A and B are shown apart, each in its own frame.
Chain A
């Protein structure tokens, strides 16, 4: 057989449409966002308040029936400024992804930090600190998705 450094390649793309069911818990959670409410749920066994809301506790293996509205302010646990883009990325860079502990809850909520200029990383580093207080800022046009919260923005 002929020996070459590289052989031929073809290009391929797999694109499959999906219809993804929310089920009762996520449906209610996203309806909450439409009304500017963030819902969590409290496990009656470990007493933890989990957010987003759940139908069961992953640690206690028990069903959770209640929905409770949680605070829209919280503390930044960690964050990352993302400046690169890749195929299929739903959020356009630059953006700051963050783990935020909403007041009174027991797990971290994943969302964005924004509301200021993100173009200069050094500036962002000076602005954003672990432990800083942030609060949810809502989009005017709400679609019942996680991006109904525009981002979390520093509390003065």
Chain B
């Protein structure tokens, strides 16, 4: 076990179509925010970790080089971490490793994406090789639609019940987003609007899908000694977990999703969590698709397999429920891919330090942050505590 690691602050940009700034200027906005929020000077950092979605998204391959100046990395060690959708949690884990190893006391961790500059689904196809899988993996909606079907079929969940629960999730999150100053899509939705929205890939409809967002997130990870010296409200990393499956999409089961189960189990074991639904106060689950959020509840042990729809409809995972999930509105309302996982960590850190503002879960002390990547073969989890 490494040294204790604290998160001493975060900075998020405004999200949306950000053609008012260049890509490095967008990254600078988040980096400036974390230094401003903490009063820390760029001179004091020992190193920088940066990451994005695969670089085809904006057409510049060496993003951490492109951002070197705005990352304040001149004269410092700089690392790039890139795992597709789970980049943000991988970034946080990289920052965690660096501090836990004892080789640094203060590390800047930055994730970013400017999805509106490129073609996100075309980028997604370049994630896989050109002679087998690329023919059949029709962007993210195609992949998750398949996963949803396998899940509902496997556990015999009636189609209309899955629809009803997914509708509840999207209405709740788009309402939640109004209380998150950084959220991209904020909308009061009605069940009719959701249920009759156009089909993207059956059974996924428009409001089941996350938007393309431009945005960045910056965080500062510190050693115990540094955190005490700084005297800032700090979230402590209690557990980390990351697990992957085979490259070949058909090799792994999508309903009993082993890498998601394992990532959570690793993080729970490290944090000493036995009953996540009881012990966690808040969870920022990566939810680019409504259906997938429910699958995660099951893989993370928030409930048994096949039970998530019922519990969603009972309100167990809503803001006032037993385990509030994605009170920020989550990925469903804001998805700048390379930053999204780090947004989840930043939101969990804000919650356990009581700084989440209008969407604060009262008294939150233990939170989970999560992101998924690969095509769907990577999952990463981080547990944060108030002490």
Q: Does B178 contact A (CB under 8 A)?
A: no
Q: Knowing A7-B20, A78-B153 touch, does A88 contact B250 (C-beta < 8 A)?
A: no
Q: Knowing A87-B122, A145-B131 touch, does A99 contact B146 (C-beta < 8 A)?
A: yes
A78 to B150 alpha-carbon distance, docked (Å): 5
Q: Is the CB–CB distance between A82 and B122 below 8 Å? A: no
The distance from the CB of B291 to the nearest CB of chain A, in whole angstroms, is 12
The distance from the CB of A96 to the nearest CB of chain B, in whole angstroms, is 9
Q: Is the CB–CB distance between A112 and B202 below 8 Å? A: no
A108 to B133 alpha-carbon distance, docked (Å): 12
Q: Is the CB–CB distance between B249 and A86 below 8 Å? A: no
A111 to B56 alpha-carbon distance, docked (Å): 25
Which label, helix, strand, loop or mixed, suits the secondary structure of the A interface?
A: loop
Q: Does A119 contact B (CB under 8 A)?
A: no
The distance from the CB of B200 to the nearest CB of chain A, in whole angstroms, is 7
A82 to B250 alpha-carbon distance, docked (Å): 18
A67-86 Cβ-contact flags toward B at 8 Å (1 or 0): 00000000001111111101
Write the chain B residue with the least CB distance to A58: B246
Give the interface size bracket for B toward A: 35 or more
Q: Is the CB–CB distance between B131 and A125 below 8 Å? A: no
Q: Is the CB–CB distance between B125 and A88 below 8 Å? A: yes
Q: Does A107 contact B (CB under 8 A)?
A: yes
Q: Is the CB–CB distance between A79 and B146 below 8 Å? A: yes
A80 to B291 alpha-carbon distance, docked (Å): 15
- A residues 1-58 touching B (CB-CB < 8 Å): 4-7, 9, 12-14, 18, 20, 22, 26, 30, 50, 52, 58
A107 to B251 alpha-carbon distance, docked (Å): 5
Q: Is the CB–CB distance between B135 and A121 below 8 Å? A: no
Q: Is the CB–CB distance between B145 and A80 below 8 Å? A: yes
Q: Is the CB–CB distance between B19 and A6 below 8 Å? A: yes
The distance from the CB of B230 to the nearest CB of chain A, in whole angstroms, is 34
A111 to B137 alpha-carbon distance, docked (Å): 9
B341-365 Cβ-contact flags toward A at 8 Å (1 or 0): 0000000000000000000000000
Q: Is the CB–CB distance between B131 and A14 below 8 Å? A: no
Q: Is the CB–CB distance between A86 and B150 below 8 Å? A: no
Q: Is the CB–CB distance between B131 and A146 below 8 Å? A: yes
Write the chain B residue with the least CB distance to A112: B136
Q: Is the CB–CB distance between A86 and B202 below 8 Å? A: no
A133 to B249 alpha-carbon distance, docked (Å): 20
**What are 20 A-B residue pairs whose CB atoms fall within 8 Å in the complex?**
A20-B129, A20-B130, A20-B131, A22-B131, A59-B246, A78-B150, A80-B145, A80-B202, A86-B139, A88-B119, A90-B130, A91-B136, A95-B138, A97-B137, A107-B250, A107-B251, A108-B251, A112-B135, A112-B136, A147-B135
**Closest 10 interchain pairs by CB?**
A108-B250, A82-B138, A78-B150, A87-B122, A86-B121, A97-B136, A80-B145, A130-B153, A78-B146, A6-B19
The chain A residues found within 8 Å of chain B, CB to CB, are 4-7, 9, 12-14, 18, 20, 22, 26, 30, 50, 52, 58-59, 77-84, 86-91, 93, 95, 97-99, 107-112, 121, 124-125, 130-131, 145-147
The chain B residues found within 8 Å of chain A, CB to CB, are 19-20, 56, 59, 119, 121-122, 125-126, 129-139, 141-143, 145-147, 149-150, 153, 199-202, 246-251, 254
